[in-house]
Amino acid sequence: MKRELASCLALSLILVTRACGAAETSVAAGRNGDKQITIRIHNYAQVESGDLIKAERIAHDILQKAGVEAVWLECSGDQIPPKEPPCETPMGPTDLTLNMLPRSMSDRFHLRADAFGVALEDAEGGLAFRAWIFCDLVKDAAAQGRLTRSVLLGTVIAHELGHLLLSTNSHSAFGLMQANWSGKELLAVEHRAMYFSSSERKRIRQAMMSRWQYRER
């Protein structure tokens, strides 16, 4: 099965009005099992727990508005063993892996300097499972653009997870899945107004059905 790495997001920064971040609470899963995914987080960048929880809530809200419930698992980090038993179970079609990378690891991808994440896409339209977030670059971009760090991080996470759920050709001309964010998009990020389009939501629901069909085989 042919797979390819695709650079998924780059941000062109401007100054924007700072908005309030999300409250620091845990993210709980919904009850609709056939629309539920499990996201295994490997926090190699050692993002602070509070910031990571807030970012998860941002991404969770974006996914939920697309009809997808997410369970977030804190798995291994840099030389840290898995903290939750489900992290040690075999991956299934409704499990996704999100790797939070420091600069020392993200530099190995040799991508453009303003790329903030990549996803492993399936070039033949199958299932994709792994994405990487370049945390130090996101942090620097938030500081430069006077953005709320956790809000930007959570929106970037949602973008990359969108690539995994939408598979190939998943960039759009506008909105959350746009390849490059600048003034208008960054304002929407800061005010938590970036979501999947109606057509993307439809494709995601179809993709979730496919993943659960694979799961039940």
Q: How do residues 62-83 score in pLDDT, each as one tens digit?
A: 999 999 999 999 997 654 555 5
78: left (phi over 0), alpha (psi -120 to 50) or beta: beta
The tokens 């598979």 sit on which residue?
167
Structure tokens at 217: 């085989």
Structure tokens at 38: 């499990």
Give the global pTM.
0.83
* pLDDT one-digit tens code per residue, 30-49: 445 567 999 999 999 999 99
Distance CA 95, CA 92 (A): 5
Distance CA 141, CA 135 (A): 10
Distance CA 90, CA 130 (A): 14
Q: What are phi and psi of 90, to 5 degrees?
A: -60, 145
* pLDDT one-digit tens code per residue, 7-25: 456 554 333 322 222 233 3
